[in-house]
Structure 1
């Protein structure tokens, strides 16, 4: 299990947090997502063999946000 801490830009409200949490949680191998709106930090626990950092980045961008 890999623990990734990601800085994300573009979130403005709890709706953004819910949307992004849903997008990341739907990826294969993701077991836990915790996002702090104020700091823009997402902590994601995932199986690196199933979900790479590139896949996480694509999901973030697909949800309308930017990985910094």
Structure 2
């Protein structure tokens, strides 16, 4: 499954890397790419191993909010 989430508070390359790394640690995530210009996070994952809610939780634990 592929989704795009809007991330609030992502302002620098360190923020971008923090969000991407937090998502990539989840089992079942195939890819995670954040875009500072759009504040978007494109993620591809296996629905059998993780969920949108788990991805949102990982974003929150990294210190950011999903809009």
TM-score by length of 1: 0.95
Q: Which runs of 4+ in 1 moved over 2 A?
A: none
Equivalent pairs counted in the alignment come to 67
Cα distance in 2 for partners of 1:67, 1:50 equals: 21
The DSSP-based 3-state class of the residue aligned with 2:33 is strand
Are residue 35 (structure 1) and residue 34 (structure 2) matched?
yes
**How many angstroms apart in 2 are the aligned matches of 1:61 and 1:34?**
16
The C-alpha deviation readout for 1:16-63, integer Å capped at 9, x for no partner, is: 001111000000000111110111000000001111011001000000
SS of equivalent residue, structure 2 residue 43 = strand
Q: Aligned partners of 1:12 and 1:48: how far apart in 2?
A: 29
Alignment TM-score, normalising by the size of structure 2: 0.96
Tell me, yes or no, if structure 1 residue 20 matches structure 2 residue 19.
yes
Per the alignment, residue 59 of structure 1 pairs with 58
Task: Output the aligned Cα RMSD.
Answer: 0.6
